[in-house]
Each structure stands twice: as C-alpha cells, then as structure tokens.
Structure 1
Amino acid sequence: MKKIVAASAIAVLTHLTWNAVAQAQEDYPQRAVTITVPYSPGGTTDYVARMLARQMSEVSKQSFVVENKPGASGTIATAAVMRAKPDGYSLLMNDTTYAMLPAVFKKLSWDPVRDIAPVSNVASTPVILIVPANSPFNSLAELVDAARKKPESLTFGSGGKGSSTHLAGEVFQHQANIKLLHVPYKGAGEALLALVGGTVDVEISATPTAIPQINSGKVKALAISSPQRLPQLPDVPTFAQAGLPDYQVQNWFGLVARAGTPPEIITKLNHLVKEAVADPSIRSSFEKLGAQAVGNSSQEFSQQIASEIDSWGRTAERAGLEKQ
C-alpha cells in the first residue's frame, strides 16, 4: 500500500511539475521584454533586432522593445544582460562579434559559453567591401594594389576593436597581403557614416547595412563574400571573382538570454523567433538587403557559438591581434 501511495504521489508531483512548466511557457511574456543591442542605432544588428522585435510583439501580443548600449565592442551591453535577472525579460541581440570577444579581451566579466542561454540564430548575411562614392578605386584589384605599394596609407573603419567588422577586415588584410590603418568606432552605424563622409577609405560591412547606401550612390561596392553574386547587386563581384577565393566571411545575428533562464522560457522564445522569421514580410525584407532568415534551434545555435569562438580565436592569433 505504501508503494502505491508513493507512486501516486510521484505521479501527482510529475503532473503538477509539467503543468507548471506548460503554464509558465504559455504565460510568458506577461510584460515588456527588452532586447539590448550592443551597438549604436543604424547598424545591421540594430536593424535585425528592430525587425525581430516588431514581429515578436505581433506574434506574442506583448511588447518587445530594443535598447541600444554601445561601447567596448559590445561588452558593456553584454555584461548588463548577464547581470540582469534570468527571467527572459532581458535579452541580448548580438552578432558574430560575440564569438570574437574571447580573442580580443584578456578577461571578460562573464564566461562566453557557460553564462549564456542561446535562443536562436535569427539571420545570416555575407559581408561586402565598400568604399566612398568618390573613391579612386573601382575594383578590389585597384585597392589591393594601392595598399601594397603604400602600407597603412589607407584606413579602414569598423564598429570597434574586436568587432565583426574589425576582424573581417583583419582577415581581408591577411589574405590580400596588405596593411591598412584601423579606425574603430562605437558601432557599425557610426563606421558607415564615417565611410560615407570620406573619413575612412574602406569598410567591410554586413550587406543589410550597406545595400541602401550602395543603391543611393553614397558608397561603391567592390566585392561580396557570398558564393554567388546577389540578385540585389548583380554588378558586384564575389571575392572569389575579384581575386580572393578564400575570403568567405559570413555574419550571423542571434538572440541570447542569461544562463539560468528557465528552459521553458527559452523554448517559448525559440518558438517566437521561428514564427517571427517565418513571416513572409520579414523574410522578404531580409532578402532585399542580402540577408537570410535562419531561426535554428537553441542547441544548434549554442554549438555554432562555441565552434566560432574557437575558429575566430585562431584567426585573431594568426592576425597577431593583441588582447586588451
């Protein structure tokens, strides 16, 4: 009789636990959710975050709002989210830069793998090398030739030391056997404005940020890292076509929470992201700007981040990047 009672109690507790999990997942979110972007407004990460927030708000019938906290290659915003309560109401939208941070900084205030709960990779995009509209360079070969003749005579802008735009530029220099002078900004948006204004000579940007500027004639595109030319930019050659076949850098833009966030909340967020990026208007908007909606599982995104931390670490070491 005691065994029967115990078994019944366990069954009741299990049922109650699953009900609680299901209820928590169903009830979330009950108030506004903040998505922190670690860069200034205007960059691709900010753009993707705002499109995602708008669609997730519509899907969930609750507000998802974007807050920008630029500076220190994204570490300021990331540290703030890592200090927040792990309840799913403080999220981080970051990009490939996140996987580069361990290669840039000697010490971070959080563990880049253990202290996050990845939600989903939202979108991916090739990168594109752009120059000001009045630049004398009309091809990648011309740019590379000038840079080889006078090392560090040309400047390249980035969204900050250790950012994805920075290390993408380092990879480019390594493969092209050139040396450019790095000029870091607080975000990709600021770096792009500097390029448009002619303050810097070169930038390697994510395509969603660059395409509007290319179409408006404010900048020129010399090469793109996609396997084939983009329909949106049929006149822009791939890096392979332009003479650098090994340059295959891609950017991702993903959503993470702090470790310790209840698994059922992560599952709910993952479902919301997938539903949001499955919307035809979102996919179309991404595609028009050269980005592809992803929406993978939390586990897949977690594995991707860990793998890229290793690979970008090797890239930074090869480039001789000294940790701060």
Structure 2
Amino acid sequence: MLIDRILIIMPSVAERGIQQISDWRNVVIVGRALCTRARDSSRRPSSIAPGTLLGPAAKLFVMALVSALFSAPVLADDAWPTRPVKLVVPFPPGGGADRMARVIAAPLSQRLGQPVVIENRSGGAGTVGVAASLRAPADGYTFVWCTPAAQYLAPPTVPYQPMKDVAPVSLTVVGTYLLVANPSLPYRTLEDLIADAKRHPGAINYAIAGLGGHGQLMGEFFNQKAGIKLTPTPYAGEGPALVGVIGGDVQVGFISSSIVLPQVAAGKLRVLGATSELRLRGIPDDILPIAHTLPGYDVTAINYIATRAGTPQPIIERMSRAINEVLSMPAIKAQGTEGGIELVGSTPQELGARIIAERKKWHEFLQQSHIELK
C-alpha cells in the first residue's frame, strides 16, 4: 500500500494541516492511543528515520491525519459564509455601479445569511478598488464589483495581472451609456455636436469616469466614426462626471443611463444618443442609438462581480448562484429597468468566456486604430 511508504510529513504539509484542520480532537485521540500502543511494544524504535517503514498503529495515525487534512477544506467551503462578506465598489457613491451594487446587496445578504457590506474604493477607473480587493485573502469574504476598465481594458501599469488574478463570478448588468450635453449649449442633435467639433478640433471636452475605461474607449470610438477630435476629461467616478456636465465644467459626457435619466427628466441634461445598439427597456423611444447616425457604432456596457483568483471554486459557484437568484427577483429586475439597464446573471464560466471575447474585440480595435488608452 502507498501508506506503507509514508515516512515523514514534510514541514510545508504540516504547516498547511495546522491551518486547515478544524477539529484536532479526533487526531489527538488517535495519537494518544497509538502512543500507548507504542510504549507497550517491544519493537518501538528510538526515533523515526528516513527509510523506516511505519507499523500498523502508525499507519492508522497517518491515515487519520491525512483524512482530516483533506476533509477540512470541504467542511470550510460548506459552512461559508460564517461572517460578513465585503463587496468592494471601485467608484465613489452616487454612480451607476454604486447604485446597482446597493440594490443587489440587501437581498444577497438574505440569500447568504450574512451581511454584504459595500466598501467604496475609487480611483484609476476602478483599478484602485480592484487592486485593494485582490490584497485580501482568497477565502471568499471579499468580492469586487468589476468593470472592463479594471480588467480587460486595464493599463499595463496596474499592480496586478488583470486576466490571471481576477476570477469571474457572475455578470450583473448589461446596459448603455448615454452621450449627454449641458442643455445651455446649442447641441440639439448628434449632428450639431459633430458639426461643432469639426469646426473646433479638440476644443470640446467629454466627461468620463477615469481614463482607460469604457468611457474613454467609447469616446475614441466616437471620434473615429465621426472623424472628429473630442478631448477626454477624467473624473474620479460617474457621480462627479455627471456633476461636471450639469455644472458646465465640460460640454458633454458619456455616462451610464441609470444615473442620467433622472437628470434628463429634471431638465438638467440633454441626451444626444445611446452608445448601445440594443433597445434596452427603460430607455425612452426618442433616445436613438448613436449607430443611427454613425453606422457600426456600438458600445454595450457590462458590470460583473469577481473575486481573487484562488478562491475555492465551491464558494465562487455558491456566490454565483445566490447572485443569479437575486437578479431573477421581479422587484430587483424592476429597479434595473427603471434605470435603462437590464440585470442579467451568468455562470462563472459564461462570464469568463465573455470577458475573453470582449478583450479580443477591443484590443484589436485599439491596435488597428493606433489608440492607446491611458
């Protein structure tokens, strides 16, 4: 038997066992019994040296230890969660991502049986918050509300490997951004903006939630399709970007529909077009896709929940199922469509495949266009 060849437990394995075995009482009981038998045995060696075969009693002890070692992680996964779960939102309060994360957090807490605590860590188009979440242990108690800017559109300067260190959990949001203008400006239509931009190259600024993300991507895509040059103006998040357009600090902005529409209804913003070709529920019929003016223009926003790679897969799967259950609740879906977005879940595998496909699509566009997101 293989157990006959077990001579000594390596220090690294022993250390792992101390960390993972949740109930040492059974092991201690077996160990004491074996020590008693060893004292009564005239064959007891003075020490266990390399190359010494284990006797029957010692075999039992090793088998008990190995059994406890490998069963402990399973028991830990089954018990998860036993304390509050943190959901890092890498944007300041008031933005579209923050709003939807808070909509989902309360019913998700009920599903998990533990509080889901929102922590806002803004900066770097979401990369600061993602980096912070990845510094936490891979134990299933820290998740992050992720956007493309922090993973497959992240710049090479981020302190993590976006496609290796981030593990997908579930898609949460599919939606559109809206190209909006301050209503005091003479931009009544998309054509008005394009015409003015051609007359004044680089003079019109557009607000985005940080450089390097979907905001800058859709701005550069818009520049290419329209043959113009708008200049990106980064803000710490969508909330501040929204304030920038309303206050007249910048002329236009690409901002999530979920926080734009209430301001449009209040007369504080004017919508010039939707970035997605999809006709999403909750978007008024008079708001047309930018593609109606610029064929081929299509940027559909996605948000998703991820965690640190190395988190036990059973925990990831359970979290994914809980998220999908919440997203299927009629009351939660209604809050999504009110903002012109759709709440859509997925399996970790489906989300992973979508991330890979989106990364390929946009990296090819950037390379062909000789555009560098900063």
TM-score normalized by the length of structure 1: 0.89
Identity of aligned residues (%): 31
- What are the superposed Cα offsets for residues 268-289 of structure 1, whole Å, 9 maximum, x if unpaired? 1001101110111111110111
Equivalenced residues, count: 314
Task: Flag the 1:188–1:317 CA change in 2: closer, same or farther, 3 A.
Answer: farther
Unpaired segments of 5 or more residues in structure 1? 3-9
Matches of 2:73 and 2:358, distance apart in 1: 36
SS at match of 1:76: helix
CA distance 1:219–1:14, shift in 2 (3 Å): farther
| 108, 112, 116: which one aligns with 1:60 | 112
The corresponding residue for 1:265 is 315
Whether 1:192 and 2:203 are equivalent positions in the alignment is no
Q: CA deviation at 1:319?
A: 4.5
Is the CA contact (8 Å cut-off) linking 2:282 and 2:337 kept in structure 1? no
In structure 2, the partner of 1:236 is 287
Establish whether residue 79 from structure 1 lines up as the match of residue 131 from structure 2.
yes
SS at match of 1:113: helix
Question: Which of 294, 310, 329 is residue 279 of structure 1 equivalent to?
Answer: 329
Match of 1:166 in 2: 216
Q: Is the 8 A contact 2:282 2:341 kept in 1?
A: no
Q: CA deviation at 1:15?
A: 12
Cα offsets for 1:82-139 (capped at 9, x unmatched) = 111001111110123234434xx23332211111211001111022111112221010
1: distance between equivalents of 2:80 and 2:344? 23
Q: Which residue of 2 aligns with 1:216?
A: 266
1:45 and 2:72 matched: no
| Displacement after TM superposition at 1:20 (Å) | 5.9
User: Of 119, 127, 134, which aligns to 2:184?
Assistant: 134
| Contact map agreement 1:48 1:253 (CA 8 A) in 2 | no
Q: Quote the offset at 1:54 in angstroms.
A: 1.6
* Mapped contact 2:126–2:147 kept (Cα < 8 A): no
Shift of 1:311: 2.1
- Tell me if structure 1 keeps the 8 A contact 2:180–2:252: yes
Please state how far the C-alpha of 1:155 moved relative to its aligned partner.
0.8
1:240/1:72 CA distance change after superposition, 3 Å: closer
Letter in 1 for 2:94: G
1:209-245 deviation digits (Å, cap 9, x = unpaired): 211111221101111123337554121122233x112
Deviation at 1:174, TM superposition (A): 1.0
Asked if the contact 1:160–1:185 (Cα under 8 Å) also holds between the matched residues in 2, the reply is yes
Match of 1:309 among 333, 355, 359: 359
* Aligned mates of 2:67, 2:262 — CA distance in 1: 54
Q: Which moved more, 1:250-259 or 1:167-176?
A: 167-176
Contact kept, 8 Å, 2:127 with 2:149, in 1: the verdict is no
Give the 5 Å matches for 1:293-304: 293-304=343-354
**Greater RCO structure (CA 8 Å; 6+ sep):** 1
Give the direction of change, closer, same or farther, for the CA distance of 1:264–1:214 in structure 2 (3 Å limit).
Answer: same
Match of 2:19 in 1: none
Higher alpha-carbon deviation: 245-254 or 209-218: 209-218
What secondary structure does 1:52 align onto?
A: helix
Q: Distance in 2 between matches of 1:124 and 1:218?
A: 25
C-alpha contact (below 8 Å) 2:281/2:342 kept by paired residues: no
Q: Which whole-Å CA distance do the structure 2 matches of 1:38 and 1:137 have between them?
A: 32
Match of 1:96 in 2: 148
Inter-CA distance 14–127: structure 2 relative to 1 (3 Å threshold): farther
Cα distance change, pair 279–16 in 1 and its aligned pair in 2 (3 A): farther
Shift of 1:57: 1.0
> Would you say the 8 A contact 2:277–2:291 is kept in 1?
no
SS of the aligned residue for 1:156 comes to strand
Q: Which amino acid aligns with 1:189?
A: G
1:39/1:199 CA distance change after superposition, 3 Å? same
Tell me which residue corresponds to 2:35.
none
Structure 2 spans left out of the alignment, 5+ residues: 3-62
Instruction: Return the match for 2:232 from 151, 166, 182.
Output: 182
1:6 maps to what in 2? none
How far off is 1:75 after superposition? 1.8
3-state SS in 2 of match to 1:303: helix
Cα separation, 2, equivalents of 1:227 and 1:179: 26
Equivalent of residue 118 in structure 1, options 131, 155, 168: 168
Q: Does structure 1 residue 253 correspond to structure 2 residue 303?
A: yes
Would you say the 8 A contact 2:103–2:332 is kept in 1? yes
CA RMSD of aligned residues (A): 2.5
Mapped contact 1:99–1:306 kept (Cα < 8 A): no
CA contact (8 A) 1:100 1:163 kept: no
Question: How far apart, CA to CA, are the structure 2 residues paired with 1:31 and 1:280?
Answer: 28
What is the alpha-carbon distance in structure 1 between the residues aligned to residue 136 and residue 247 of structure 2? 38
